[in-house]
Amino acid sequence: MIHALLAGSGAFLLSLLIGRPTVAWLRAKKMGKSISEDAPSSHSVKSGTPTMGGIFIWATVALMTLLTNLFIFRDGGIRLGHESMLLPLAVVVTTALIGLWDDFGTLVDGTAGRRGLTWRLKFFLIAVLGCIVAATMYWGLEAQSVHIPWMGQYQLGAAYLVVAFLIVFSTTSAVSITDGLDGLLGGTAAFAFGAYAVIAFIQGQLFLAVFSFTVTGALLGFLWYNAHPAAVFMGDTGALPLGAALATVALMTGHWLLLPVIGVVFVAEAMSDVIQIAYFKTTGGRRLFRKTPLHHHFELLGWSEPQVVMRLYLFGMAGAMLGIALALSV
């Protein structure tokens, strides 16, 4: 556990260190985000805030993973260890590139001439990734089980392929939706990865605990610059890999059934969108929420942005604690 916590602390310091020059570079390159017309009018002041801050989150994670979790220094040489960590690392790199492509379509000035991804293409790419992760887990890591609290571990056989695909696709989408307020996704994702780090350590998967705490530390460093009022947004460059990596970590622990508990905020945010659309269509244009995702609804109720973020943090922390407790009950 000491190794995992040290790796997380190191990731925090590294993220904090490289964050300032990265934010300055993004600002100099005019990587300012345009604000969607669907967002509350109070968000208009954020137009032009640098985006793609996910670059230094994942640069930190990649470097720390290589140094502390993938390459083993022994007897004066270097060898590859914990090969299973190549999966979450590959997932992060792939989705970061997809997010980077999409973020170029949300810039405020002429550099946005390159179009971002349509939602259909984005969903297709995430679906392809979900298939690859599911196949790798099933055939590469020979995973096909689920841990059920108070009941134990059960084998799913080939049905695991479908479940793993749905886990990756839905988690990546839900986490991405949550990115809408200063500090909201960074904090809630840090709680979720911290919870899975503890679960992985309890299982004896130290390498997975190290990776999860590394992501937690990198997110804490990012929050230094993303705290309200944000100096940088993570963009899809940060948000898409967060969801995909969280799903992958959950699958590797076998405790993916706890994702709706540990990621309760992500579930609430995604479901608010689904419910709003369904209600709108079935009632001929009426709305259940003032605006979705859910964090915008709370803003329009009169909560300040820091209030919304802090109160959702509380649910995120409670969900993380409950998830760990349920994992211990298996």
Helices (H), 104-178: 119-135, 159-178
Q: Is residue 284 a part of any domain in this protein?
A: no
For residue 18, what pLDDT is reported? 94
Question: What is the rounded average pLDDT of the residues 104-119?
Answer: 63
Is 304 a domain residue?
A: no
pLDDT, position 44: 66
pLDDT at position 127 over 80: yes
- Residue 167: predicted pLDDT: 95
Mean pLDDT of 7-12: 91
Residue 252 within any structural domain of the chain:
yes
Q: Give yes or no for residue 81 having a pLDDT over 70.
A: no
Is 119 a member of any domain?
A: yes
What is the arithmetic mean of pLDDT over 140-167? Answer: 90
The mean pLDDT of 104-118, rounded to a whole number, is 62
Domain assignment present for 277: no
Measure Cα distances from 46 to 190, 225, 229 in Å.
Answer: 24, 14, 9
Task: List, for residues 12-62, the tens digit of each pLDDT value.
Answer: 999 999 999 999 998 888 777 766 666 666 666 667 788 889 999 999 999
The runs of H, that is alpha helices, within the chain are 2-28, 54-65, 86-103, 119-135, 159-178, 184-203, 206-226, 235-253, 259-262, 264-282, 294-300, 305-328
What is the extent of the structural domain holding 198? 2-257
For residues 89-117, give the mean pLDDT. 76
According to DSSP, residue 35 is labeled P
- As a whole-number percent, the residues of the chain with pLDDT over 90 amount to 53
pLDDT score for 161: 95
**Over the Cα atoms of the chain, what is R_g?**
19
In a domain? residue 282: no
Report the distance separating Cα 49 and Cα 51, nearest Å: 6
Residues 262-271 pLDDT 10s: 999 999 999 9
- Comparing 258 with 38, the larger pLDDT belongs to 258
Cβ 62 vs Cβ 218: under 8 Å: no
Flag whether 233 is in a domain: yes
pLDDT band at residue 108 under the 50/70/90 scheme: low
Q: How confident is residue 69, by pLDDT bands cut at 50, 70 and 90?
A: confident
Residue 78 is predicted with a pLDDT of 54
If one counts the domains in the chain, the total is: 1
* pLDDT tens sequence across 195-254: 999 999 999 898 999 999 999 999 999 999 999 888 899 989 999 999 999 999 999 999
pLDDT value of residue 72: 57
Q: What is the pLDDT of residue 95?
A: 94
| Residue 316, in any domain of the structure | no
The contacts of residue 154 (CB under 8 Å, 6+ apart) are: 145, 146, 148
Residues 288, 276 contacting (CB under 8 angstroms): yes
In sequence order, what are the beta bridge partners of 154? Answer: 146
